[in-house]
Structure 1
């Protein structure tokens, strides 16, 4: 029996739109589960200017896949590809279809921790422009002798559970002599690796409660036929000793990188997912999110002339925004540089995912720019300080009022420290 593929109901009408839009091929986005694949979206690959005799331009769709994977939330992955063509293409161009699939996953192998490597079975779907029907096959890429096997594709209403977490990132890392010769991106990602590795052993609180990892995410009250999934708040409790503070850096270093902030993590799970599956999806989302924004930030930097003056450089990487997939509860990401607005995401979301959105569709409140958030928190703290001072004056308080004010000021300082993701570094050579 072939693999079962269940696609979001809204995609049934989306297929009719795709085959009439001039689209040629694209990526299948969804989630692999035990026994079946769940499809959340079909995103067309933008047209390529390069001529190709094959139904799919291998290098072009592979490049598209590398860009898309970093913007997917946890739990979502690239399941395969689709081509607008009749089912006869399976017989006439099986070699070319295998080649295109291989190109996609060979490109993703360079980002092994950003995508699902637990399954080797990938999908190829043909969207018949005449009948508007979908014919699907699966292929095991690891076997050179495997052939395309029939897969049952059907549409149905789907529900997704949403897991989210506000993850605090506090990393201090020394850059050694040899590492100082590498790119800034390499230095930053190397600095983040101990922190990301520590998340693998993190304990989880779900809605404030410690839950067994093998338990269903939805608990025992899951009822078939409900119209919507649930949202769960996760706290990932990780070992902070794996990311030592700067005073514990023992060896001389060329520079010190500090990464402080709080990021929004997001994952979508099928309704039978366990707590451990949700935690794993959130960990992958954290890695994708940090990798994406650090890559964007480092690529945007203009090379500066080296200076002999001791200096600390403060960087603010892009912040995360979310946008809904048409007809689905699933949201994908984009990242905005300081000063950008949600409208700046519309072109990226259109080109990579084929989404036609309005500015109001982009959710830009999950992470707030550092200046805006710091100003908001300072204003709130100032109001709190005024209220405390007024209460103390009314009560005739004396010395203890100073302690209250100092404590409130300390809280303001902490709020500013973790309000956004910041990179601080490097120090001048020769310091430690």
Structure 2
């Protein structure tokens, strides 16, 4: 059975504009794979490579341009992979880089040199995206990647797929690419995950950096979120049921004339089972400090309506962890001092906050540090997604800046001047590092772990009395 991919019609116009000018272009194919259907949401030209510089966190470039690449053999696979890495941060859960597109006068499928280059680009990109599994950068459904080619001579469009990764299968498979004249309908799912955790910091002899500590926190958060149970609109649903069927049932239930219109988005609630929130073991460790994370991570996921509830839940979980991983990476890259705990100080930090940017009939995201205006997101969208949007199109209120009044008051207290370090720039999602918190966390963990034993001992003591 031939693989079929559905794409917005504007993607054809996008390819034709470059092919008609006989311009060589390579870029990324972005989309979603479900058991019901495979949808492409956008194709984005990879920016021209700059003089040895990588794409920065905000999507901008600092160095001068190199000479334009004339054909596929001159493309740097590292540059394409870097583009894919930055674009993945902008994708909601359930969306992935599905392959690459090319406009050229050479036939990339017939010429062995060009096809070998295509395979090198796709395999290198897969390898780079696989280095951070918490970014969920590689699509878990399949290791096959799309190759879409439009000839600048004949304007003929051809799509095929190959398998990447450890597999030695080099078979080229045909793919049927269909353009949709009407906008694709999407089911939106919104979730607000409250993050309020305290993590002890143990500095080993070799030391520990902010990035290393964040990686440990991400691993812990991933385990917690994966163990959680999710409710759609306050109800536990069958994972095999289609989202479309849930909407139809709700419309039937609210079919009376006075009934309000069924909301276009579903609200997802996340519940962590109590037993999964308890530590597996209690270790007596000397803590050097703690990190307190507090805030709400806003998640907006878009699914094909015929996708299953199970696929939607997996996408929401991916989105939360991907968002945390993206913020932590950007925050660490922006830090001047990688020292985890300043001596005898409490540091207030804010990672970047999330904003939404429109792409077709759905939204992708970007991240803004405190003090950055929505115009900063326009730069990322233009460079990374090759889209022109206005500042008014950026939705900035899904996450609000952090309330720093408590720390501002502490800063004004002359007796506490030495306790508070200068705040780093960023958002509503914040973390605080300090010395005192860790001992409280350790005490509470020990009490919870031995609570049952203490209770049983007290009952026996009362019985004897």
Same fold by TM-score greater than 0.5: yes
**Of 311, 315, 324, which aligns to 1:281?**
315
Give me the whole-angstrom Cα distance separating, in 1, the residues matched to 2:319 and 2:185. Answer: 20
Give me the whole-angstrom Cα distance separating, in 2, the residues matched to 1:430 and 1:154. Answer: 57
SS at match of 2:133: coil
Residue 331 of structure 1 pairs with residue 383 of structure 2:
no
Change (3 A) 1:71 1:305: closer
How far did 1:117 drift? 2.6
Residue 154 of structure 1 pairs with residue 178 of structure 2:
yes
Give me the whole-angstrom Cα distance separating, in 1, the residues matched to 2:205 and 2:358. Answer: 40
Listed as ranges, the matches of 1:367-386 within 5 Å are 367-371=399-403
How far did 1:34 drift? 2.7
Structure-2 residue corresponding to 1:262: 296
SS at match of 1:73: coil
Residue 64 of structure 1 pairs with residue 88 of structure 2:
no
Residue 217 of structure 1 pairs with residue 218 of structure 2:
no
Provide the TM-score with structure 2 as the length reference. 0.75
Structure-2 residue corresponding to 1:32: 33
Structure-1 residue corresponding to 2:349: 315
Change (3 A) 1:428 1:206: closer
Structure-2 residue corresponding to 1:171: 197
Listed as ranges, the matches of 1:226-265 within 5 Å are 230-239=264-273, 242=276, 250-265=284-299
Structure-2 residue corresponding to 1:410: none
Give me the whole-angstrom Cα distance separating, in 2, the residues matched to 1:215 and 1:179. Answer: 52
Asked whether the 8 Å contact 1:160–1:269 carries over to 2, the reply is yes
Unaligned runs of 5+ in 1: 376-418
SS at match of 1:11: helix
Residue 4 of structure 1 pairs with residue 23 of structure 2:
no
For 1:124-174, what per-residue CA distance to the aligned partner results, in whole angstroms no more than 9, with x for missing partners? 101222444421001112433423221111101322111110111112111
Asked whether the 8 Å contact 1:71–1:288 carries over to 2, the reply is no
Give me the whole-angstrom Cα distance separating, in 2, the residues matched to 1:55 and 1:144. Answer: 26
Structure-1 residue corresponding to 2:428: 420
Change (3 A) 1:364 1:305: closer
Give me the whole-angstrom Cα distance separating, in 1, the residues matched to 2:324 and 2:109. Answer: 39
Structure-2 residue corresponding to 1:299: 333
Provide the TM-score with structure 1 as the length reference. 0.80
Give me the whole-angstrom Cα distance separating, in 1, the residues matched to 2:362 and 2:223. Answer: 27
Change (3 A) 1:105 1:268: same
Listed as ranges, the matches of 1:394-409 within 5 Å are none
For 1:87-139, what per-residue CA distance to the aligned partner results, in whole angstroms no more than 9, with x for missing partners? 72211121111111101101111122412233111111012224444210011
Give me the whole-angstrom Cα distance separating, in 2, the residues matched to 1:429 and 1:276. Answer: 38
Asked whether the 8 Å contact 2:28–2:99 carries over to 1, the reply is yes
Unaligned runs of 5+ in 2: 51-65, 250-261, 407-426, 443-465
Change (3 A) 1:167 1:306: closer
Change (3 A) 1:351 1:360: same
Structure-2 residue corresponding to 1:189: 215
Change (3 A) 1:109 1:48: same
